[in-house]
């Protein structure tokens, strides 16, 4: 992570710009370490590729919609993917019992 930070902060104007420094550190940490992924203790297996792909797709569409809250088409795409994910989760729960 030190290499990524030193490369990103090497520009001459970055020493005075706190916002740039903060976002650079955050992005470098996210790239190197990654984001915390909550582990479900329910019946959804983290190793289930289909379930993980469905949840990742829903998460990406949610992020796209939250960046543009006034965009109705992104909201509809997210709501549809959420419905699909909930349907998958319900079918996985039935299979696990």
* Any domain includes 86: yes
Cα distances (Å, whole numbers) of residue 13 to 3, 7, 10, 47? 19, 13, 9, 45
* Any domain includes 21: yes
Which residue range(s) make up the domain with 26?
2-32
Q: Check whether residue 53 and residue 91 sit in a common domain.
A: yes
* Any domain includes 38: no
* Any domain includes 57: yes
Q: Is the dihedral of CA 55, 60, 63, 69 positive or negative?
A: negative
pLDDT in tens, 14-53: 455 777 777 778 788 878 887 777 666 555 555 677 888 8
Please count the structural domains in the chain.
Answer: 2
* Any domain includes 28: yes
Q: Say which residue the tokens 């650079």 belong to.
A: 24
pLDDT in tens, 43-89: 555 567 788 888 889 999 998 988 888 999 999 999 999 998 888 65
């Amino acid at each position: 992570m030190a290499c990524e930070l030193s490369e990103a902060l090497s520009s001459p104007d970055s020493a005075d710009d706190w916002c740039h420094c903060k976002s650079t550190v955050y992005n470098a940490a996210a790239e190197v370490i990654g984001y915390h992924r909550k582990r479900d203790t329910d019946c959804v297996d983290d190793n289930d590729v289909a379930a993980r792909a469905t949840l990742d797709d829903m998460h990406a569409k949610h992020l796209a919609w939250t960046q543009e809250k006034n965009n109705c088409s992104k909201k509809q795409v997210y709501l549809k993917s959420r419905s699909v994910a909930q349907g998958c989760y319900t079918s996985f729960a039935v299979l696990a019992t």
